[in-house]
Structure 1
Amino acid sequence: MNLYSKYFKLYKVPFLTAVFCVALEAICDLLSPTLMSNIINTGINEGALSNVYYWGGLMLTITAIGAGFAVTRNILASKVSQRVGADLRYDLFEKIISFSEVSTDKIESGSLITRMTNDTSQVVQFVNGIMRIFLKAPITCIGSIVFASLLNFRLSLIIYSVVFLVVVIIIVSMKLSYLRFYQLQKAMDKVNSVVQEYLIGVRLVKAFGTYEKETDKFENSNINLMEKGVSSQMIMTLVSPIITFIVGIGTVIVIFIGSKLFSLEMASPGDITAFTIYMAQILTSLIMITNIFNAFVRTKASTARIKEIFDCKSDFTSSGEEKELNGDIEFQKVTFAYPSGSGVPAIKDLSFSIKSGQSLAIIGPTGSGKSTIAWLLLRFYDVNSGKILVNGHDITELDIDSVRSNIAIVPQKPMLFSGSIAENIRWGNKDATDEMIYEAVNKAEGSFIEKMEGGFESLLGSGGVNVSGGQKQRISIARGILKKSSILLLDDVTSALDAITEAKVRKNLNSKENKQTIITITQRCGTAMAADRILVMDNGVKVGYGTHDELMDTCEVYRDIYKTQIESSREV
C-alpha cells in the first residue's frame, strides 16, 4: 500500500526490529517439535534419561528465548501502530481542513468522521497485527513444512496437499469478501450521517415531534449495517471451520500412514509425534493467515476510502506573498455553475463594480444567486467564465491568503465554537486587544454580553446553543468587524434582529469613520435602501443595478419587492 510508505520510512527501524523478533520467535517455535522428536527417539525409546534432560533443557531454553522475542515485538508493535494511527489521523485532518468547496461537497461529513475514526482504527489494527502475528503465521507455516520435510519426506506430501487446498479456499474467500467489507464501511457512514443529522437538528425534531420518523430512519440504517456486517463476516466465519476440517483430516491421514511406515521401520515414533505437532502448528498458522487476509481485505477497503480523502482536490494554495488590497470590486461577465450541481448556472453573465468605501446591497428572490456572489468573491470556487477583479487584480492571479485576509464574512447562519465569547470574537483578529473587542461589540450592538454573568469570558456551548439566535448573530457580526478588513461581507446577518437593533447596527457600519467596502446580502428592502448601490438578482441574472430611486423607476422586480414589503406594511 503506497499510501503508507511515508509512515514506513518514519518507523522503519522499530518495524524491522519487530519483524526480526517475529522471525526469531517463529524459529524458536519451529524447533520445539524437532526437539520433542529427539527427546522421544534418543531419550525415552532408548531409556537414556540424560538425553531427556539435555534435549528437554534445550527445549525450555529456546522456548524462554522465544518468549523474550515475543515480548519485545509486542511492545514495538503497540508503539509503532499507535504512532502511525496518530500521524494518519493528523494528515487526514490537515487534508480535510484544506479541502476545496468541491471536495467538501463530494464527501459528506458523516463519512469523513467514519474514515478518520473507524477506517483509521482498522489500519492501526492491521499495522499492529503485521508486527505481532501476521508475519509469524507464514513463517511458522512455511517453516513447519520445511522442518517436516526434513524429518520425513513421504509424510510431508500430505502436508503439501492440505496447504494447497487451503490456499485455494483463502484466495476464493478474499475475492468474495472485499466488496462486502467496502459496503460495510459505507453502511457505517450512513449510520453516522443519520445520527449527525439528528444531533444537528434535534431542536427542530422536538418542535415538529418527528421522533418516530427519525427512529425509523436510524432503524433502517442500523439494520442495513447489521446485515452488511453479517454478510461481510459470513465468508470468513465459514472458512475457518473448513480449514480446521481439512487439516484435521490431514492429521488423521498422517497418523494412519505414519503407523504403516512405522511398521515398515520407515518412520520413528518421534517423527510421527513431531509431524502431529507440525500439523497443529500449520493449522494454527493457516487460521491466522485466513485472519490476516480477512484483515487485509478489510484494511484494503478502508485504505481505498482513506485514499479518496487524500485524492480530493485541495483549496487554492498560498504562495506566502500576501498584499494589502483596497475595496475596489468588479465582476466582468461572470458565469458560474456549482460543480456538483445540476449544471445550470447559478450566476449568468454578471457584471457590476463598486468603489472602495462604498456599500452595496444584493437583493432578490430566494435562489437568485446572492450568496454565490460572496462565495466567488472569497474564491471558494473559481468562475466558469469571466473575471472578478479586486483592487484591479484578477483574484485567480492573487495569493489566496491575500484575497481572504482582506475580506471578512459574517455568514447567514452564525457559526460559534465551544469556548468563551471573547475567544469566538477573536477569531476575527487573534491579536486584538480588549479595547478593540469592546469597540467591535459596540458596533454590533452586543451590550448584552457585559450583562451576562461571566461577561466576555462566558462560555458558549458548541454552536452557541446557550445563546439566542439574535445574540449569535451579533457575536458573529462583532467577529467580522474586528477583522478590520477592506471588504466586509454580510450574508443576511440581521434576519434574527428586530428592526430597531438592525437599524443601529446598520448605522454603526455605515458611519463616516468606517472606510470598508460593505456588501450586504439581504431579503429586506429596508436594509437594501440604506446602501449606496443595490444589485437586484433574479434567477442568477442581474435585473437591476443602481440607487433605490433609480431602481424604483427602472426595475420591475425591485418595485415588486418594495411594494410587497414596504407599502404592504404601511397599509397594515
Structure 2
Amino acid sequence: MGLYSKYFKRYKVPFLTAVFCVALEAVCDLLGPTLMSNIINTGIEQGALSKVYYWGALMVVVTFIGACFAVTRNILASKVSQRMGADLRYDLFEKIVHFSELSADKLESGSLITRMTNDTSQITQFVNGIMRIFLKAPITCIGSIVLASLLNFRLSLIIYGVVAIVAILIIVSMQLSYPRFYKLQQAMDKVNSVVQEYLIGIRLVKAFGTYDKETDKFETANTNLMEKGVASQIIVTLTSPLIAITVGIGTVIVILTGSSMFVSKLANPGDIAAFTIYMAQILTSLIMITNIFNTFVRTKASTVRIKEVLDSEEDFSNRSERKELSGDIEFRNVTFAYPSGSGVPAIKELSFSINNGQSLAIIGPTGSGKSTIAWLLLRFYDINSGAILINGHDIKELEVELVRDNISIVPQKPMLFSGSVAENIRWGNKEATEELMYEAANKAQASFISNMQNGYESTLGSAGVNISGGQKQRISIARGILKDSSVLILDDVTSALDAVTEAKVRENLDPKAINKTVITITQRCGTAMFADKILVMNNGVKVGYGTHSELMQTCEIYQDIYKTQIESSKEA
C-alpha cells in the first residue's frame, strides 16, 4: 500500500469520485431484480397494467442513471490510471538514473525494462480495474445477498452455502497463483535480457556465425516463459469453471426449492424470478472477484518487483559547500573490494599522488585494477579503507555531483547516443559554443566529421552503429575534452587508433597545454612512457611509481612490458 499512497493523495478527488460512481451504479443494478419482482407480483400477477407501467418506467430511469454513472467512472478510471502509470514510469526512471553502482550491478537492464513496461502496465490495469469494476463486484455480490435475504430468507440460505464454497476456491487459487506469477515475470526478464544481449552483440554474432547458439538460447528462454505462463494460468483456468458450476448448481437448487415453496404458497413468482436474477448477478460478481484476486496476485508480484527498484540504493547524496576543485589527486592506503564480487580486494593499500597540470599513466596486466582506480575516483563505489583526496578534500565529504563535475572520463568502450554528432560531443557541456566544439574535435583528431554528409549535424545511430570504432573513439575523446573539468581520465581510448593519430592526440592533450590533470589508463608502454608519472599495477597492488627512466631501473614488471612491446617491435 505504501507504493500507492502518494499517487492516491495526488489523484484522491477523481479516484473517490469514481468510487462513488461505481457504488451508485451497483445500487442501480441491484434495484433491477427488485423492481422486476414488483412488476410480476403487483402488476402481472394481479392484472394491474398501470403498476406494470409504473414499475417498468422506474426500472428504465434507474437503468439510465446507472449507465450515466458507468460512463463517468470509465472516463475517470482511464485518466487516473494512465496518469498514475506515467508518474510511476517517471519515478522508476528517475530512480534508475540515480542508481548506485551496486544497484546497477544487482538488477539487469533487461529486468529493469520489464519492470518499467510490463510490471507498470500491470499496475496501471489494476488501478483502472479498481475504479471500473473491482469495487463494483463485491458491492453487487454483497448487495445481491442482502436483498435476496430480504425477499426470502429460506432461499437465501442456499446462497450462503454457494458463497462459502466459492470463497474457499478463491483463497486456494490465490495461494497457488502468487509464486507462479512471480516466476512468470522473472521468465519475462530472461527473454528481454536474451534479446537485448543479442542486439548489443549482433555484429559479433554475425562475425562468428553463432546464429544457432543465439536461437537456442532464445528458444530456451521463450519455452521457459511459455511454461511459466501455462503454469500461472492453469489455476485461473480451473477456478473459474468450478465457480460457475458451483453457482449454477446453486441456481438449480434455488429454482427447485422455490418451485416447491411456491406450491406450498411460501414464495411468490416474482420473488423466485428475482432470486434467479440475483443468483446470476452473484455468479457474475464471484467470477469478477476471482479475476480480481488473480489480477491482484499478478499486481502484487509486479508491486514487489517495482518496490525492489524504488527501494534500491541510490548514489551518494551527501551535501557540502560548492568548491572549485583543482586537479590535485591523492590516494592514501586505499583498499577496495567490489560489494557484489568475490570479496578479494581489487585494490590493496594503494598510495600515490599527482599535482594539478601533470599527466599520470596507469599501466599493468589485465585485471590489475587500473579501471577500478577511475571508478573509485568518480566515487561510483565507496572504498573499504583509506582515503581519496581531490584538492586536499576527502571525496566522501564532498558532494558527488561536485566531484564528477570536476572529472571528465573517456571510457574504454566509447558509448554514443542516437542523435547528431554535435549533440554527442556537447553531451557533457551543453552550453559549449560551436568554436569550442570544433576545437575539441580538432584536438581529438576528429576532422572526419567535416567530411560526413551533414557535418556535425549528421545523425548517429544508437551506440554509433553507423561509424567505425576509431571514429567512435575520437568523438568520445572530443566529448571528454569539451567538458570543463580539471581532471581528464582516458581509459585505454586509443586502442582503435593508428600510431600517428594516437601521437597527435597525445600531443594535443598535453596537460600543460589544456591546463588539466590527465590520467591515462593503458596497456601500451609506448603510450605510458610519455607521462609525467607512471603507476604500475599488478593484482591490485602498486609495484612501481615514477617516471619512465626511473621505472626502467627499479620496476621489473615495467621492464618486462617495455621489452615485450617496444624492444621486440624494434627487432621485428
Same fold (TM over 0.5): yes
Tell me the secondary structure at the aligned position of residue 561 of structure 2: helix
Aligned to 1:433: 433
**8 A Cα contact 1:318 1:401, kept in partner:** no
Q: Residue 512 of structure 1: CA displacement?
A: 3.5
Q: C-alpha separation between the residues in 2 aligned to 1:46 and 1:566?
A: 113
Aligned to 2:126: 126
Q: C-alpha separation between the residues in 2 aligned to 1:567 and 1:412?
A: 26
Q: Does 1:178 align with 2:178?
A: yes
The superposition leaves residues 25-71 of structure 1 with CA deviations (integer Å, 9 ceiling, x where unpaired) of 00000000011111111111111111111111111110011001000
Aligned to 1:411: 411
Q: C-alpha separation between the residues in 1 aligned to 2:2 and 2:511?
A: 58
Q: Does 1:97 align with 2:97?
A: yes
Q: C-alpha separation between the residues in 2 aligned to 1:152 and 1:102?
A: 65
Tell me the secondary structure at the aligned position of residue 104 of structure 2: helix
Aligned to 1:288: 288
Q: C-alpha separation between the residues in 2 aligned to 1:207 and 1:401?
A: 41
Aligned to 1:480: 480
Query: Percent identical across equivalent pairs?
Result: 79
Aligned to 2:566: 566
CA gap of 1:137–1:329, structure 2 versus 1, over 3 A, is same
Q: C-alpha separation between the residues in 1 aligned to 2:209 and 2:323?
A: 52
Matches within 5 A, 1:52-201: 52-201=52-201
Q: C-alpha separation between the residues in 2 aligned to 1:566 and 1:533?
A: 19
Q: TM-score, normalised by structure 1?
A: 0.99
Matches within 5 A, 1:509-548: 509-510=509-510, 512-548=512-548
Root-mean-square deviation (Å): 0.7
Matches within 5 A, 1:366-381: 366-381=366-381
Q: Residue 428 of structure 1: CA displacement?
A: 2.3
Q: C-alpha separation between the residues in 2 aligned to 1:454 and 1:477?
A: 21
Q: Residue 8 of structure 1: CA displacement?
A: 0.3
Q: C-alpha separation between the residues in 1 aligned to 2:428 and 2:280?
A: 67
Matches within 5 A, 1:327-406: 327-406=327-406
Aligned to 2:300: 300
Letter of the aligned partner of 1:450 in structure 2?
S
The superposition leaves residues 267-313 of structure 1 with CA deviations (integer Å, 9 ceiling, x where unpaired) of 00000000000000000000000000000000000000000001100
Q: TM-score, normalised by structure 2?
A: 0.99
The superposition leaves residues 103-158 of structure 1 with CA deviations (integer Å, 9 ceiling, x where unpaired) of 00000000000000000000000000000000000000000000000000000000
Letter of the aligned partner of 1:263 in structure 2?
V
Q: C-alpha separation between the residues in 2 aligned to 1:21 and 1:484?
A: 58
**8 A Cα contact 2:511 2:517, kept in partner:** no
Number of corresponding residues: 572
Q: Residue 264 of structure 1: CA displacement?
A: 1.3
**8 A Cα contact 2:335 2:386, kept in partner:** yes
Aligned to 1:26: 26
Q: Residue 260 of structure 1: CA displacement?
A: 1.2
Q: C-alpha separation between the residues in 2 aligned to 1:24 and 1:510?
A: 76
Which consecutive unaligned segments of at least 5 residues does structure 2 have? none
**8 A Cα contact 1:320 1:401, kept in partner:** no
Aligned to 1:325: 325
Q: Residue 452 of structure 1: CA displacement?
A: 1.0
Q: Residue 263 of structure 1: CA displacement?
A: 1.2
Q: Does 1:262 align with 2:295?
A: no
Letter of the aligned partner of 1:16 in structure 2?
L
Q: C-alpha separation between the residues in 1 aligned to 2:336 and 2:528?
A: 24
Q: C-alpha separation between the residues in 2 aligned to 1:130 and 1:429?
A: 46
CA gap of 1:130–1:386, structure 2 versus 1, over 3 A, is same
Q: C-alpha separation between the residues in 2 aligned to 1:221 and 1:184?
A: 11
**8 A Cα contact 2:358 2:512, kept in partner:** no
Q: C-alpha separation between the residues in 2 aligned to 1:400 and 1:514?
A: 24
Q: Residue 401 of structure 1: CA displacement?
A: 1.4
Aligned to 1:239: 239
Q: C-alpha separation between the residues in 2 aligned to 1:551 and 1:494?
A: 23
Q: Residue 322 of structure 1: CA displacement?
A: 2.4
Tell me the secondary structure at the aligned position of residue 322 of structure 2: coil
Letter of the aligned partner of 1:2 in structure 2?
G
**8 A Cα contact 1:322 1:401, kept in partner:** no
**8 A Cα contact 2:318 2:398, kept in partner:** no
